[in-house]
């Protein structure tokens, strides 16, 4: 998707990055994922619209009776950053700029958040799969209780949404908290 003019004018990485993606179009999501940033394919096709997205759906959604249309996929950074590296230094101001595009996530209205690994990175470190599957089980439990769960996927997302959770992702794996507790 082409980057909106608003991004080019207001974002510190708006002219250095490529493409743009909004949250996935999902009518009634059962759970949501927030990822650090889209891949190159995500900005060309759609969130998780590539082979890795298909593999992710087969390995992590279908075992729980879910399809891609059952989940909301959101990003901290909406474009593909230079060389695929998460912004640092002054460029981290892009995080605040990208909140301009969080309409679908706001409509979903998360009530409980969980911290887990980035599912796209699991293909590089398969030993983390078991932790992600446990987080998915817990998210489904919360959904069945009437909650609207969000999985914060990856260190950058955890750091943005709960900076008090220091000590690295391994320490916080499987940690869940309500939106009310975090406020």
Q: How much is the mean pLDDT over the chain?
A: 85
pLDDT > 60? residue 183: no
Map out the domains of the chain with their CATH numbers: 5-182 (3.40.470)
Residue pLDDT, tens place only, 88-112: 889 989 999 899 899 999 999 999 9
Structure tokens at 15: 């002219």
CA distance 170 to 82: 27
What does each C-alpha distance from 132 to 35, 125, 154, 179 come to in angstroms? 14, 11, 11, 21
Task: Band the pLDDT of 21: cuts 50, 70, 90.
Answer: confident
For 159, phi then psi, to 5°, come to -60, -35
Read off the pLDDT of each residue in 33-52 and give the average, rounded to a whole number: 76
- Split at pLDDT 50, 70, 90, the class of 9 is confident
> What whole-number distance in Å separates Cα of residue 158 and Cα of residue 172?
9
Question: What value does the mean pLDDT take over residues 9-36?
Answer: 88
pLDDT tens for each residue of 58-81: 888 999 999 888 999 999 998 888
Q: State the pLDDT confidence band at 45, using cuts at 50, 70 and 90.
A: low
Spatial distance between the Cα atoms of 60 and 132, rounded to a whole number of angstroms = 8
**Highest mean predicted confidence (pLDDT) among 4-8, 117-121, 151-155:** 151-155
Looking at 9-23, 86-100, 124-138, 159-173, which range is the least confident one?
A: 159-173
Measured between alpha carbons, how far is 104 from 183 in angstroms, rounded to an integer? 20
pLDDT score at 43: 66
CA nearest neighbour of 132 among 70, 79, 183, 56: 56
* pTM of the predicted model as reported, rounded to 2 decimal places: 0.89
49 Cβ contact partners less than 8 Å away, ≥ 6 residues apart = 41, 42
Q: What does the pLDDT look like over 113-148, one tens digit per residue?
A: 999 888 777 878 888 888 888 899 999 999 999 999
């Amino acid at each position: 998707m082409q980057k909106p003019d608003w991004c080019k004018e207001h974002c510190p990485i708006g002219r250095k990055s490529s493409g743009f993606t909004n949250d996935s179009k999902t009518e009634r999501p059962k759970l949501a994922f927030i990822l650090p940033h889209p891949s190159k394919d995500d900005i060309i096709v759609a969130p998780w619209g590539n082979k890795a997205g298909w593999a992710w759906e087969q390995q992590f959604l279908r075992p729980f009776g879910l399809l891609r249309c059952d989940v909301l996929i959101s990003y901290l950074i909406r474009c593909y950053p230079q060389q695929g590296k998460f912004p640092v230094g002054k460029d981290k101001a892009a995080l605040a700029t990208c909140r301009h595009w969080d309409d679908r996530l706001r409509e979903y209205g998360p009530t409980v958040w969980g911290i887990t690994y980035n599912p796209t990175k699991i293909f590089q470190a398969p030993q983390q799969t078991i932790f992600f599957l446990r987080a998915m089980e817990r998210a489904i439990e919360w959904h069945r209780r009437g909650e609207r769960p969000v999985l914060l996927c990856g260190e950058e997302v955890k750091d943005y949404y709960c900076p008090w959770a220091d000590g690295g992702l391994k320490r916080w794996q499987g940690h869940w908290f309500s939106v009310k507790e975090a406020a």
